[in-house]
Structure 1
Amino acid sequence: MSASRNPTLRTSRTSRTSPARGGRPVRRTGRLLLPCAAACVTALVASGCSSGSSTASPGSAPAASAAAAAATSGGSNDLQTDYQNTVKAVLPSVVQINTKQDLGSGVVYDDKGDIVTNAHVVGSEKNFQVSLATGGKTLAATLVAAYPAGDLAVIRLTSPPDGLKPAAFGDSGKVSVGQIVLAMGNPLGLSSSVTQGIVSATGRTVSEGDSQSGGPGATIADMVQTSAAINPGNSGGALVNLDDEVIGIPTLAATDPQLGSGAAPGIGFAIPASTVKRIADQIIKDGKVTNSGRAGLGVTVREVVDLQNQPAGVAIVAVTAGGPAAKAGLKAGDVITKVGSTPITNVQSLTEALAADKPGQKVPVGYLRDGTQKTAQVTLGSI
């Protein structure tokens, strides 16, 4: 990725077209930001929903298999067999979720009918139609709860069928760069599709844009970057290793502004399995997220600009009584300019800085008070 090209990040959600006419999806997009080592701004597509229906029958698995096709040695047959066995093992656990306007993907989480997906797939809706990769009639489902801050949600089948197959979730700590992975879902309404690639990077922190307001959306830490193709409709599906384990939930795909609305090939992002399990378990048990595991300051803030109308930090509007900021002596009117070694220029940069930290961690927070630069040591709480 070249720092001079500055690709953009966006969420992408496509509205439904008439299946009978096979119309093209129309994308609705919002901004996304990804910090890069080269200080560039990359753009991402929340590949969540796709329109239309597919002529591919449930259970089919078209795959992008350039690596397998290029290999001609005897070992390539073993790799192909691994691919096919993983598809057979995991694809039955990947479902298509239909809302009133859009469609996305989901992963069967348990035999009680709980399905995990992205919050941007379910949106504000409460009722859904779910199609299993194994075929059969569509099934009704209702929302258990959504956690927009982490772009995750759980829906539950009203009448779970016999033989429902939960996916096995892997250990995020064992995910490594270069590992072969498959992305399973329903891109562009093509049901039960499979693409292949590798893990390109781990530990990415990505901020989605809110496609409705145009403002900052979820900021997600520790995401898995992959070269497996992620397209609208893949969101909420499965990123799978060759041990038949889900290692992430595909959520975002990159776009290059020089390509207009076209995708930048080979740059996709998935929420790691550890985060998925932690959030889904809480939603299923308590109907909400009770412990996000995400750091917070306990403040309400707004952005401020300097005399040149450039972002200059975030002003504290209110401080939670007894919260981390209050205990450290911060108060309304202070302007936060740095967290740790990270400069803070706007709300999004503050959110991203905190996403990289953990509750209970002690960090220096730089701030301006009455024109004087100060620093407070803050023991972070949780949000």
Structure 2
Amino acid sequence: MVQAGSPPPAPAPEPARSLPRLGRRQLVPALAGLVVGALVTVLIFVLARRGDSTASAAGSPADRGTAMCAAVPVAEQVLPAVVTISAQRGAQAGTGSGQVIRQGGYILTNDHVISVAAGGGTVSVQYSDGSTSAATIVGRDPSTDLAVLKAADGAEGFPTIGLGSSADLEVGQPVVALGAPLGLSSTVTSGIVSALDRYVPVPGDGVTHHLVGAIQTDAAINPGNSGGALVDCAGRLVGVNAAIATVPNAVGVGGGGSVGLGFAIPIDLAKPIADQLIATGKPGHPTTGLQVQEIPPAVAKATGAPAGLFVLAAEGPAAKAGLRKGDVITEIDGKPAVSSEQIVVATLTRAAGDTIELRYQRAGTAGDATLTLAAAQ
């Protein structure tokens, strides 16, 4: 059920086929911030110090077959690097979670946790010992739902979180989630990796967040967990909790609590984006130069046009690849072109200089194009 005035998510492109139909369940855009007076979507954004030492990433990966991590040592190691985030602008406010990822007080979180404070609001962080600090927004990437903050006190005396690799994860592997669900700081839950490589589009406040290659987990995450850590049994950050699925209640409105289906942004995607935000304040995703409009199958059938993506404009890289306004893109990297989100996802997972293989039709004649992504201006 759409909660905050956001349109329901469009049919997911092919990576999203891995996102199973939830039957009577709804994807609640785990907008982890408990944002007052603004959040409504099919996905309920669930997920609304000091010192230069680094939390040890020592330890071996979780043993195969181990049902759960030993959560006590993980919590003792990781919680000092986890913060509760409060964002406010005017009458709107929200809370979420984050973790110190770099010395100097740099904190990684979800964009939807702090977006309410963008453009004139305030942000503060609370550490595990209860102390607080003002913070500023270093950079935002609404497309991937990531953001970086900088604590005014530099998070002095608090460790940075150890970083793992999401590429090493296996389905069934135990994990631990840490954050501030419902504003309850320093909360720890555990579970397993339920699935990998999910594509979850999450409608937000005027933007769609694209969780690409998301980690699915049954570790309990709730509103306020957004932006918080998903770690392996060695306490290494492997994902950033971002969204949950919920079950509609009797009147068809999604509930706000965990039903054991949570989604985290993989650290292998999040880290380079965070590094770029720290360096430049911008995510730096490449561009295709394309503007496209989906042609629904019913319209294609009625008009005799091919199903796919109608090219509204082809500039820069698209024009160099030979595409023109009026072309219909029918395949993207060998898969049927069914959603404009496929173009977006392609830019989020690649760098300038990488290529996308496209098949298109122009006046009834098929053609192929290799589009080389360019750096955004």
The TM-score normalised by the length of structure 1 is: 0.75
The answer as to 2:269 corresponding to 1:278 is: no
Q: Which runs of 5+ in 1 are unaligned?
A: 18-25, 32-43, 50-74
The answer as to 2:104 corresponding to 1:118 is: no
Q: Report if the CA contact (8 A) 1:301-1:314 is conserved.
A: yes
Give the superposed CA RMSD: 3.0
Alignment-derived partner of residue 74 in structure 2: 86
Between the aligned partners of 2:187 and 2:311, the Cα distance in structure 1 is: 47
Alignment-derived partner of residue 41 in structure 2: 30
Greater share of residues in strand: 1
Structure 1 residues 149-174: Cα deviation after superposition (integer angstroms, max 9, x where no partner)? 11111111112253121111112222
Q: Which runs of 5+ in 2 are unaligned?
A: 1-18, 49-65
Alignment-derived partner of residue 169 in structure 2: 175
* Partner residue of 1:341 out of 334, 356, 363: 334
SS at 1:102 equivalent: strand
Between the aligned partners of 1:355 and 1:111, the Cα distance in structure 2 is: 27
Q: Report if the CA contact (8 A) 1:303-1:311 is conserved.
A: no
Structure 1 residues 276-306: Cα deviation after superposition (integer angstroms, max 9, x where no partner)? 211111111222223x4x6x53212233441
SS at 2:46 equivalent: strand
SS at 2:39 equivalent: strand
SS at 1:234 equivalent: coil
Between the aligned partners of 1:238 and 1:311, the Cα distance in structure 2 is: 44
SS at 1:150 equivalent: coil
SS at 1:326 equivalent: helix
The amino acid of 1:192's aligned partner reads S
The answer as to 2:47 corresponding to 1:48 is: yes
Displacement of 1:111 in angstroms is 2.4
The amino acid of 2:221's aligned partner reads I
The answer as to 2:216 corresponding to 1:185 is: no
Between the aligned partners of 1:264 and 1:130, the Cα distance in structure 2 is: 24
The amino acid of 1:114's aligned partner reads Y
* Partner residue of 2:83 out of 78, 82, 95: 95
Alignment-derived partner of residue 63 in structure 1: none
SS at 2:41 equivalent: strand
Alignment-derived partner of residue 314 in structure 1: 309
Q: Report if the CA contact (8 A) 1:96-1:105 is conserved.
A: yes
**Identity value in percent:** 34
Between the aligned partners of 2:108 and 2:347, the Cα distance in structure 1 is: 25
SS at 2:238 equivalent: strand
* Partner residue of 1:204 out of 198, 201, 214: 198
Question: Which has the bigger relative contact order, CA under 8 A and spacing at least 6?
Answer: 2
Q: Report if the CA contact (8 A) 2:26-2:254 is conserved.
A: no
Q: Provide closer, same or farther for how the CA distance between residues 363 and 347 of structure 1 changes in structure 2, counting only shifts above 3 A.
A: closer
Q: Provide closer, same or farther for how the CA distance between residues 45 and 359 of structure 1 changes in structure 2, counting only shifts above 3 A.
A: farther
Alignment-derived partner of residue 254 in structure 1: 245
Between the aligned partners of 1:345 and 1:312, the Cα distance in structure 2 is: 8
Which stretch has the larger CA shift, 198-207 or 101-110?
198-207
The amino acid of 2:39's aligned partner reads R
Displacement of 1:352 in angstroms is 4.3
Which aligned pairs between 1:343-382 and structure 2 lie closer than 5 A?
A: 343-352=336-345, 360=353, 362-370=355-363, 372-381=364-373
Between the aligned partners of 1:194 and 1:348, the Cα distance in structure 2 is: 34
4+ residue runs over 6 A deviation: none
Displacement of 1:199 in angstroms is 0.9
SS at 2:202 equivalent: strand
* Partner residue of 2:149 out of 155, 168, 171: 155
Alignment-derived partner of residue 53 in structure 1: none
The answer as to 2:26 corresponding to 1:8 is: yes
* Partner residue of 1:233 out of 212, 224, 230: 224
Q: Report if the CA contact (8 A) 1:12-1:28 is conserved.
A: no
Which stretch has the larger CA shift, 88-97 or 7-16?
7-16
The amino acid of 2:234's aligned partner reads D
Q: For this pair of structures, how many residues does the alignment match? A: 325
